Structure 1
Amino acid sequence: MTVTALAAADWIQGVEGMQQKAEEIAEDPAQKLWGPLLDHVLLPFGQIVLIIFLTYIALRYSDRVIDRLLNISRFPQKKGTTLNRLIKSTARYAIYFISAIAVLEKLEIPVTSILAGAGIVGLAVGFGAQNLVKDVISGFFIIFDNQMEVGDYVEINGSINGTVEEIGLRVTKIREFSQRLHYLSNGEISQVTNYNRDRMRPLVAVTVPYEEDHDRVRETLKEITEDLNQRLAPYVIEPFTIFGVTDIQQDGVEYTLMAVVTPEEYWMVEREMRITIVQTFNEKGIEIAYPRQVLTTYPELQTSFAKAKTAHNASEKAQRPLPRKEKGNPQGGEEG
């Protein structure tokens, strides 16, 4: 009975409170109704919309500002492209973070407590996310050590070859010539071979048969180097030369031509060297060595065997010692 009485009293008190609130709103609707609605609903909503609009503007125009700053700084093209993408990515994350904090404040959510809790959680996650931290640190070293830049042709860990498309704080993108795109965690990159650093040395080998006149071969190769030096002069750092005989193979003698050229034209120069060697050798009637087999028919084989047997018998006969002459009558009789 007591519980029922208390519940009834609370209900009566609640009804009286609602009646009193309604009377206050009826007496001064501008202050009691529209004031709280404006202060706690409409104004925060308008501020959140403004924050979202400013975030959109910041994301849209931050890229242009970064482009202009890098153009003013006059970085080299590849380095500027690399830094451009990295700074844009970092700025985008920073804008999102600041906007999220501002929206939470307008919703009257305790941001300080969230950040403090996030710090503790981040510390705990950090021990379990060591690879992520390693990727970020490795990304910084790759960028600031200038190991590679966007547009460079590189070989990663001795197994992946391609052009650098993007270097991020965590992931590097490498596109192969076949257009396959590799996503590599920066922490996994242990070896970088860069084909776009200052200079490259093209080496092209050509093998000629042993039967060729090698003095004539060297003269022809010398003509080829002189022709290449004239036609490819804008890309040549050290002139084309004959490196010499670099190998003696089963099918012939190997000669190597070399030079030092600008890295951007390395592949083109090697292709031009090969086609020039082939065309010039064809014009001069010089053969390029290739695997060959000699087929002999049965009659020819019999004739070869007969000649070989005859030569062998003649050789044995020539090496056989002469018979010794005995004293006395040449007819074999005794002297009288």
Structure 2
Amino acid sequence: MFELRRLRLLHELALRGTIAEVAASLSYSPSTVSQQLSLLEREAGVTLLEPDGRRVRLTPQGRMLAQHAARALELDEAARAELIDTPGWEPVRLSAMPTAAETIVPAALTALAERAPELRVELAELPPEESLFELWARRFDLVIAEQYPGYTREQRDGVEHDLLGEDPIRIVLPPSEHPTQLSDLRDRAWVMEPEGTAARQWAVQQCRAAGFEPDVRFEAADLTTHVRLVASGHAVGMLPDLIWGDEPSPLTVADLPGSPVREVFTAVRTSSHADESVSLVRAALRDAFAAHRRVAP
């Protein structure tokens, strides 16, 4: 009989690629991970790993068992959820993108304190690119993420998305300036999110569609940095309305061509369907976003 904890290590190795990354993700030492995988090989009676330079890789039998391991973990999660009939017995591990962590999550937690005071929610603030992968890898139970027009997020097997709503994206300028068109900002310094993010790719495409290549002089993942650079007159940018919460924007804002919106959504593993705790948190997030949209300027 295979031990589920060892199957999870094999599953993690298939996802992350190296023993060192598996160890870091699960707070084990690399030697412990190697030892447990060796024991799993003995249980399987076949070679699961083979040398690949200074690393290891899965053999065909290893890849096959890793696929079975993923299904075993899903069944284990579903069984545990069905056995729990009282919300709060298991904490809900939530990852949220920064704008949602600062606005939507606090309102949802306030609602949950009344609806299910025994429910424990643990929050990590991460960009969608990282949090969606970690949801798939079972580090989180629930994720709040976004996708920009034309940049749909990858759909992974065993993960489902549920739309919370739409969040307008606008040009932001120093407060002393008047609203202007995107095409008039070709000679300005820009602040954008780091390269490789969907937000950066999308923003650059908007500038190119307006006929210019943006001078991205400042790069920051923290949108608060964007606000401060624009407020001090050093840059212009594009920001979603959600960043302002329920307060009016301190910057001058202008509409982009076509009035684009990003989609804000939650994501869970399909094996969490029977988990009432996850369902409660998801419902609270949905209500909090709807309330924010009603009071948004």
TM-score clears 0.5: no
TM-score with structure 1 setting the length? 0.20
Q: Which has the higher contact order (CA 8 A, sep 6+)?
A: 2
**Higher-Rg member (1/2):** 1
Greater fraction of residues in strand: 2
